Structure 1
Amino acid sequence: MKENYTDHQIEIRSPIDNELLGTVPAMTKQQVDEKLEEARKAFKEWKEIPLFEKADRINKVADLLMEHIDELSALLMKEIAKDEKSARSEVSRTADFIRFTTDIAKSMQGETIQSDRFPGFSQDKISMVTRVPLGVVLAISPFNYPVNLAASKIAPALVGGNTVVFKPATQGSLSGVYLANLFYKAGIPEGVLSVITGKGSEIGDYVVTHKGVDFINFTGSTEVGKHISEITSMVPVMMELGGKDAAIVLKDADLDLAAKNIVAGGYSYSGQRCTAVKRILADETIADSLIEKMKVLVEQLKTGNPSEKDVTIVPLISEKAADFVCGLIEDALNKGATLITGGKRSGNLITPTLFDNVTTDMRIAWEEPFGPVLPVMRVKTVEEAIKIANESDYGLQSAVFTQNINDAFSVADKLEVGTVQINNKTERGPDHFPFLGVKSSGLGTQGIRYSIETMTRPKATVINLH
């Protein structure tokens, strides 16, 4: 799907039927300069506003989200082809996130440290440690959660006393602008929160290397994340990038539970989630039974337009995304994988696809599809499963299915990921849990308290008692 420029506007069209939904400005570098200058000026006043007043204003956004849930959910369904249940869940979850963020912020406190706890110092010094904002936070959100993953950057940054320049993904920018307008309606001034829109290829490098940015909070592809890391200097970053989340199924696993969770975790929103289950490493003694159970569940998934009731498999975000997934499917077939079900395409819509007998020479074993396709890789031992899981460039999450708690902890301890789910699908949340990736899956730790701490810094004031 190509964006069209009309008088410096970008047309946003639905991935469902190419309907024109609206336009956003294709901003110039000069306009980016102006937005960042506004944010820097606003920071001087915003950081001085008492926390409880900041929290009250930010909390109003949560109320407004629930007041506008019907309209915003309908926009998500059209702009990013998200099914209705997932769209409404994204809005309500964002409201809960915002409320919890302000509660956590109000409970965070500084500390005092006595000097005599360190050898050689007497009691004549006391350090009073507080947290202060960093300045201007650049928040860059992805297409797949344009409301939730925007608010999860904006709310902790604002409550910490920063100002925010928000750049939504082009596809998803209408939803992002809608969210920003709710912040304005709640009493957050423009400048405290600014929005920049435009092609990443046009202004992306310019804004992430801008001297007016004090912190970068990015969610998106690993490729773009690595590029940002390479071109920035002396600016702290937090990144949520890609994943190749493995579900490891041991021979004693509850296979009904495993099949249910893997299908839910792999195919919801057509697999367009960084935390989606993206490969299954199954003990060869139970693989046939697991695949049989999964096949039944996969073939029950409803495919179609997001506006239809109970739809799980929706059109992918773009023709390019669908082409990529089809390339992975074709590669697997050519190299001998067994197609259990699916593998068909109509426009951007790909039927839920399940492969057996996937081997390590196939692209689908290593590359993130961001689509409704799951490969089953049969393993002889737990050690083999761990080895394959850890050979990935990614390290976001993994799941382990077993009824032996000792085995669960043993495997979890050896997996090189940010989070291990035991007997559950890989997923984000609850939102006050730490959320992070290692290797090519990210930098820094998210989660409400962690995000606030990351976007503020300690400041020590030392009292000398002479």
Structure 2
Amino acid sequence: MAYDGPTAMYIDGEWVARGENGTAPLTAPFDGRTLAVVPVGGSTDVDRAVRAAGAALRSGLPLHRRLEVLEAAAVAIGARREEFARTIALECAKPIRTARVEVGRAVDTIRFSVAAARTLGVESVPLDATAGGAGRTTFTKRVPIGVVGAIAPFNFPLNLVVHKVAPALAVGCPVVLKPATQTPLSSLLLAQVFHAAGLPAGWLNVVCGSGSQVGHAVATHPDVAYVTFTGSPQVGWGIAAAAPKKKVRLELGSNAPLIVDRESDWAAAADQAVFGGYVQAGQSCVSTQRIFVHEDVVDAFTERLAAATRELVVGDPLDEAVDVSAVINEGEAVRVEKWITEAVAGGARLVVGGDRSGAVVSPTILRDVDRTAKIQCQEVFGPVVTVNTFTDFGEAIAAANDSDFGLNAGVFTTNLQHALRAIDELEFGSVYINDVPTVRADQQPYGGVKESGNTREGPRFAMEEMTELKFVTMR
């Protein structure tokens, strides 16, 4: 199926077919077919978009109108669910069934933003609690921080874009969006939906192009007040360093651990780890990567995990039967393959998979992997899990914490003391008991510590970040 949706950038309410740097073909990761020819923007396109967003901010848009537009957009996306899902599948090789789930989540994210906006308001401060404050009436109100620069990743090209756009619009912040270079089409479809929903010019601008040019221009533009970035730690912390006076909020990577205790439903853990490790070819910030299993159950756990992994269907993302498709490009597939080879050379045992065809890496299990192997200590962002053993539960917690990252961690145990200890001692933004770490509810406070970022997303929490508190006193 060919893509037949919008291919032009969206700036100041107009469609722009050619960017500062011309145009470029966009190819499908799975089979290399040309999907579209898209604009390649630059700093002048970003400047025009930021100026349009600034004008929209100064003009203002009442809350009830913003919410009407958001509600209309949610309805429209739901009505065009299949079109959005096929676009996602084509541009990032996400299996079509998984892509449909993403579309549904994006609709929910918009609706959570609408609900949060209805209650995000004025708070009273009792100044007369001290003698000096007597006779004063005070309150705080939230005001938009300004123009939001949003830099989005490829792995959730609709929902993670919506996680930035919907909260910003809900609180009255116009947006300049830079979608991932490989996945601009979902963002352009989203702009089309908002345009049709009646969003005035300047409130949403989509500029396609590279991170080094468009992303850098968005992050460093003097009239962008807030930058929200999801992607790799190297790029994210680089953006923060390049814009030290801005509010830069980062949601970055991880190599999420799963601990399977001796006292646990280890069979359920193995079944869920198949989803956690291989959904969208392991290209998730919270993809289950490092699995630590008690020595008494590790053989049975690995056998069950391997059997289920061998049953996964690998192939064309538009095939309804497919569970795992390509990673984002062949270069990334080659890197994942190299990391697997290096781990095996370092003493790891290949249980399942390990082979590559083009951009498709077969779902892979490695056992007894050295802690210094790249596939163990870095973020693989591919369909690979490692299985290592432990004897003592404290040893498992230490191994899980032995990481530069700290986004999500999962623990399977029926031992209450172990569960409580894990909650206290695991150094992660979220801890899931009797669940894999590959979990995100769109309304939760989502984010991590250490190299995994410096924020909590989720509509209400993002909206608090995108506003400033103004304190008012009346005497």
Q: Tell me the TM-score normalized by structure 1.
A: 0.96
Q: Is 2:260 the counterpart of 1:252?
A: no
In the TM superposition, structure 1's runs of 4+ consecutive aligned residues that sit over 6 Å from their partners are: none
* Structure 1 residue aligned with 2:42: 28
**Distance across 1 between alignment mates of 2:372 and 2:106:** 40
2:220 is aligned, of 193, 196, 209, to: 209
Amino acid at match of 1:322: A
Q: Secondary structure at the match of 2:118?
A: helix
The CA distance in 1 between the partners of 2:120 and 2:52, in whole Å, is 29
Q: Deviations over 1:151-210 (max 9, x none)?
A: 110000011011000110011101111111111111112311111111112233222111
SS of 1:86's partner is helix
5+ residue gaps, structure 2, are 1-18
Q: Tell me how far apart the structure 2 counterparts of residues 250 and 327 of structure 1 sit (CA, whole Å).
A: 31
Aligned pair 1:60/2:62, yes or no? no
Secondary structure of the structure 2 residue equivalent to 1:166: strand
Equivalent in 7, 10, 15 of residue 24 of structure 2: 10
Query: Which residue pairs with 1:160 in the alignment?
Result: 171
Aligned-pair Cα RMSD in Å: 1.4
3-state secondary structure, aligned to 2:143: strand
Structure 1 segment 380-395 matched on structure 2, within 5 A: 380-395=391-406
Q: How far 1:122 sits from its partner (Å)?
A: 4.1
Deviation of 1:126 (Å): 2.4
| Partner SS for 2:427 | coil
Contact 1:428-1:435 within 8 A present in 2 as well? no
Q: Deviations over 1:9-37 (max 9, x none)?
A: 12111011111111221113222111111
Residue 195 to residue 122, structure 1, CA distance change in 2 (3 Å)? closer
Q: 2:6 matched to which residue of 1? A: none
Q: Which of 304, 317, 339 is the aligned partner of 1:306? A: 317
Distance 1:146 1:450 in 2: 21
What is the DSSP-based 3-state SS (H/G/I as helix, E as strand, rest coil) of the residue aligned with 2:64?
helix
Instruction: Check whether the contact 2:151–2:215 (CA below 8 A) recurs between aligned residues.
Output: no
Counterpart-to-counterpart distance in 2, 1:343 and 1:30: 45
Secondary structure at the aligned position of 1:121 is classed as helix
Identical columns (%): 36
Aligned counterpart, 1:341 = 352
Q: Deviations over 1:27-64 (max 9, x none)?
A: 13222111111110111123xx3212210111111111
Q: CA contact under 8 A between 1:222 and 1:242: conserved in structure 2?
A: yes
Q: Which amino acid aligns with 1:20?
A: T
| 8 Å contact from structure 1 (residues 400, 412) kept in 2 | no
Equivalent residue, structure 1, for 2:366: 355
Q: Which residue of 1 aligns with 2:5?
A: none
CA distance in 2, matches of 1:298, 1:326: 17
Shift of 1:116: 2.5
Residue pairs, 1:55-454, within 5 angstroms: 55-118=67-130, 120-454=131-465
In 1, are the aligned partners of 2:273 and 2:288 still within 8 Å (CA)?
yes
Residue identity in the other structure for 2:446:
F
Residue identity matched to 1:396: L
Query: Counterpart of 1:327 in structure 2: which amino acid?
Result: K
The one-letter amino acid of 1:170's match is T
Asked whether the equivalents of residues 161 and 187 of structure 2 are also in contact (C-alpha less than 8 Å), the reply is yes
Paired residue for 1:39? 53
Counterpart Cα distance in 1 of 2:425 and 2:248: 27
Q: CA deviation at 1:132?
A: 0.4
Matching residue of 1:50: 62
Rounded Cα–Cα distance in structure 2 between residues aligned with 1:10 and 1:64: 29
How far did 1:110 drift?
1.2
Deviation at 1:346, TM superposition (A): 0.8
8 Å CA contact 2:26, 2:182 repeated in 1 = yes
Which residue identity lines up with residue 273 of structure 2 in the other structure?
I
Quote how far apart the aligned CAs of 1:319 are.
Answer: 1.1
Q: Is the 8 A contact 2:150 2:229 kept in 1?
A: yes
**425-434 or 68-77, larger mean C-alpha shift:** 425-434
CA contact (8 A) 1:10 1:198 kept: no
Gapped regions of structure 1 (runs ≥ 5): none
Tell me, yes or no, if the aligned pair for 1:342 and 1:353 is still in contact at 8 Å.
Answer: yes
1:91 positional shift: 0.8
Letter in 1 for 2:52: E
Which amino acid is 2:41 matched to? M
Tell me: CA distance 1:7–1:164, structure 2 relative to 1, closer, same or farther (3 Å): closer
Distance 1:105 1:6, change over 3 A: closer
Distance in structure 2 (CA, Å) of the matches to 1:131 and 1:160: 9
Report the equivalent of 1:19. 33
2:20–2:44 Cα contact (<8 Å) kept: no
How many residues end up aligned between the 2 structures?
A: 457
- Kept after mapping to 1: 8 A contact 2:259/2:412: yes
SS in structure 2 at match of 1:320 = helix
Instruction: Output one character per residue of 1:227-278: Cα deviation in whole Å (capped at 9) or x when no partner.
Output: 1111112111211100110001111111111101111111111101111111
Q: Structure 2: how far apart are the matches of 1:70 and 1:369?
A: 30
TM-score by length of 2: 0.94
- 8 Å CA contact 1:436, 1:446 repeated in 2: yes
Distance 2:463 2:214 in 1: 27
- Give the CA deviation at 1:6: 11
CA–CA distance in structure 1, aligned partners of residues 318 and 40 of structure 2: 29
